[in-house]
Amino acid sequence: MISGLISPPLLRYVLMAALRDRLLLSLLLVLLVGAALALFLGSGAMVEADRFSLVFAAGGLRFAGVAGLALFVAFHVRRAFDSKDIDFLLSRPVSRTGFILSHALAFSLLALMLGLAAGAVLLAINPASIGPGHLLWIASFVAELVIVVNAALFFSMVVSSASGSVLAVFGLYVLARLMGQLLGIAATDSDMRGWEILRTAMDAISMIVPRLDLMAQTSWLVYPDAATGIGYGFILAQAVLYTALLVCAAVIDLRRRQF
């Protein structure tokens, strides 16, 4: 049923837009520059230079991937609204649900390609240290990027400006990355007035915000046993759950719109 809602022309339209905007080329250059910079910074370490390079590269590539894809998705969707391209696309034989699903799939494919490319760069930096932690990092980074691009799709549908959409995505991303620390602070005993209310609010927020603080941890690249408790099942479940939630919200918003 879902395959019948996916529009191949819309998929090609989004992927061609990424090529036209030089997105893939720009992100590839960022990956290569980031890897070179990480190797340069790691070479200054007195011991374990290879591990320092991996840590520097993983952090930089993670930020570059999230920022680049969020910017592309938000500006692509808002440009479609501003130029009335969305009116033309919806006049074709595709439903509004199919429109969202096709865009979500196309953006997710871009996230997959970027995540695999970043993983390949990390593996090339230090091939001798390839282990289960590297593969788990790559899988979780791909899942994180898929969540981010679908969050950008949702916010760009409901927020009327591209800059506002990007800020909303970054706000959600920062909150998701800090969720572990926030929950830890809320769990401490305190006599502060209203602390229980704050703790309850944080517990409720943590149920609807993805736990990106548990994803793509750089410690997995350095310590083989650091990924205890986190597996591919958790990564897949989180990616599917939050992607489905964001896509459904975007579908509901578009179906309620009047053009």
* pLDDT at res. 154: 94
Give CB contacts under 8 A, 24+ apart, made by 21-27.
21/72, 21/76, 23/68, 23/72, 23/110, 24/110, 24/113, 26/68, 27/64, 27/65, 27/68, 27/69, 27/114, 27/117
Range of the domain at 156: 9-256
**Does 2 reside within a domain?**
no
pLDDT, one tens digit per residue, over 58-74 is 888 888 889 989 999 99
Q: CA-to-CA distance for 39 and 43, rounded, in angstroms?
A: 6
Please report how many Cα atoms fall inside a 13 Å half-sphere around the Cα of residue 45, on the Cβ side. 15
Domain count, the chain: 1
State what percent of residues in the chain have pLDDT above 70. 87
Q: Token pair of 117, please? A: 């490319």
**Does 40 reside within a domain?**
yes
**Does 4 reside within a domain?**
no
**Does 177 reside within a domain?**
yes
Let me know: does 235 contact 215? Beta carbons within 8 Å: yes
**Does 73 reside within a domain?**
yes
* pLDDT at res. 108: 94
* pLDDT at res. 1: 46
Mean pLDDT score, 82-110: 84
Q: Is the pLDDT of residue 210 over 90?
A: no
Mean pLDDT score, 87-109: 85
